[in-house]
Structures are given as structure tokens and as C-alpha cells.
Amino acid sequence: MAPAGPPATGAAAAFGPAALAPPAPGREPPFPPLAPPPFGRPPVTGGHLNLAPGETASERAVALTQELHATRAEKKLLAAQVEQLEAAIAAKDKALSQAGSEIQASSKEIAQTRTELARWKQELAAMRDKLRESEKENLATLQEIVGVLEQMVERGPPAGPAPAESP
């Protein structure tokens, strides 16, 4: 006879030879006793496999296999959608980056245009001032000419030979 070792624990206690022995007084068995299976059905209960009443393990396995295939197909579709969305995001990021570059270039051009416009305004103001000065000088010159002509008219015609009349 084999010597008695330490009491079995865990899976060995639940499924080993000790599980067939009646439990010690005051202890309950690890699992409730199984009822005899109905005729034509395997001796598996739904408590361990989460089977619905009247459902067999093979039916459950077929249903789970179909669900697994459907889930894998859905996963492939979702992965394809993710790839499409990532490609769309990458394209939009590229477009956004390009638009940002264009905005920076436009801002630089606008700053240059503003600087050039300010320079033109200064040049225009300087030319306007020169034109006013020129107009003042021209006015003064014309007034002097008018004054000289008035003096000439007041003195009378110049002395000298009379102009010849033409026929």
C-alpha cells in the first residue's frame, strides 16, 4: 500500500482519485453531484460551458465558430476602414501643411507689398510737393511775364520803322 501523502489541492483534488472518495465529515464536495444525463444527450451540463437549456456543446461550438468567423470578417472590414481613414488623415495633413506654407508665403508677400506701398506713398508725397513747388514757380514766372507785358503795353509801341503792311 502506498503511503498517504499530503492532502491534494486545486485541480488534483477536484479531478484526482481523492475526488472519488466521499468528502471528509463537515466538508462539502468541490462540485455538486451531477444528475444522470437524459437519453441521447452527452453528460455535459450548461453550468460549466454557459449552455442554454436544451443546447449541446457541439451546437455551442458551431455557433461560437460562426461568431468567430463573423468577428474576423468584421475585424478585416474595420481594419480596411482604419487604413482608409488614416490615408484620408494623411492626405488632409499634407493639404493642411501645404496650405500653411501657402499662407506663410502669402503673408510674406503681403508684408512686402505693404512696405512697397508705403514707399510709393512717400514717393508720391515727395512728387506732389515738387509739383506744388513747380506750380508756385511757374505762377511766379507767369506773374513776372504778365507784369513785364503790362509795362510794355503802358509804354506804348516801340519806336522804330513801322511794320510793312502785307497785301
CB neighbourhood size of 8 (10 A): 14
Asked if pLDDT for residue 12 goes beyond 80, the answer is no
Residue 18's pLDDT band (boundaries 50, 70, 90)? low
Tally of residues, the chain: 167
**Nearest-angstrom CA–CA distance, 136 and 125:** 16
Tell me what percent of the residues of the chain surpass a pLDDT of 90.
51
- What would the DSSP string read from start to end of the chain? -PPP-SPP-HHHHHHSHHHHSPPPTT---SSPPPPPPPTTS-S--HHHHTPPTT--HHHHHHHHHHHHHHHHHHHHHHHHHHHHHHHHHHHHHHHHHHHHHHHHHHHHHHHHHHHHHHHHHHHHHHHHHHHHHHHHHHHHHHHHHHHHHHHHHHH-SPSSPPPPPP-
**Where is pLDDT greater, at 121 or 8?**
121
pLDDT tens by residue, 51-109: 778 888 888 889 889 999 999 999 999 999 999 999 999 999 999 999 999 999 999 99
- pTM strictly above 0.85: no
More confident residue, 14 or 167: 167
Averaged over 140-157, what is the pLDDT?
89
